[in-house]
Amino acid sequence: MSRSTLFGVTLDPLTMDETVQRCLDAVRRGEQIEIGMVNAAKLVNMRRDPALAEAVSGCDLVLADGQAVVWAGRVLGVRLPERVAGIDLFMRLLAAAEVADIPVYLLGAQQQVLELMLAQISERFPELRVAGSRNGYFGDAEQEGIADAVADSGARLLFLGMTSPKKEIFTAGYGKRTGAHVVHGVGGSFDILAGITKRAPLAWQRMGLEWFYRTLQEPRRLGRRYLTTNAAFLVMTVRELIHRTPSAGSANRSHC
């Protein structure tokens, strides 16, 4: 399938079902794919952080994690069939791994949160084979050893419950070394699954207001960040629209 370009970033116009199938095919064929997820905030931050931009762009699949990205694509004439939310893909892959007996590794979050999440996973997916797990608090010097531990575990799916840009940088530097066929950065999904953070109701998600729901939970930490990045994303979209729309004068000259 041909890829799409939005704000200079190459995206894969896949549905959730197509993405899950692509991941399962990678496991079956013994391929290695790294998944990058972009929302409005990350697209803004990629313009400010070259290392983050390079890490995301280097992924084998880059998906629209945010509803705002899908909407911006529609405004700008870029085909993105639907939002592929990182946490939803995470849950779909866990369910598929349980059925197909695919071993998984869970890397990220605080130790207490990780343990709570593992308990929830054990309850929801009792037959899932968890090859290993580790909290996400480690220094740069430890990354190589952690990648080797994942490889030694035999895990075929690796989920990174870490914030950006840490998960993207780890994926770019050590994703292949882990030996996992699929490396998927799931951000704060570990906290949600553990019950520490509450996810927005489905209606809020469909309206693209998941960010606002999160802000209501942590206004001091997230309020300024979301307002700043959302405003910047809106400006990016308007500028791109103006750039792509020919002026009346240009249109008239084209018909002369």
Q: How does pLDDT run along the chain (256 residues), one tens digit per residue? A: 689 999 999 999 999 999 999 999 999 999 999 999 999 999 999 999 999 999 999 999 999 999 999 999 999 999 999 999 999 999 999 999 999 999 999 999 999 999 999 999 999 999 999 999 999 999 999 999 999 999 999 999 999 999 999 999 999 999 999 999 999 999 999 999 999 988 888 888 888 888 888 888 888 877 787 889 989 999 999 999 998 766 544 444 444 4
* Predicted local distance difference test score (pLDDT) of residue 107: 98
Q: Which residue has the tokens 């990182």?
A: 86
Which of 156, 151, 160 lies closest to 86 in space, CA to CA? 160
Whole-number pLDDT of residue 232: 95
CB crowding 197-222: b at 16 or more within 10 Å, else e: eebbeeebbeebbbbbebbeeeeeee
Tokens of 71: 């909407």
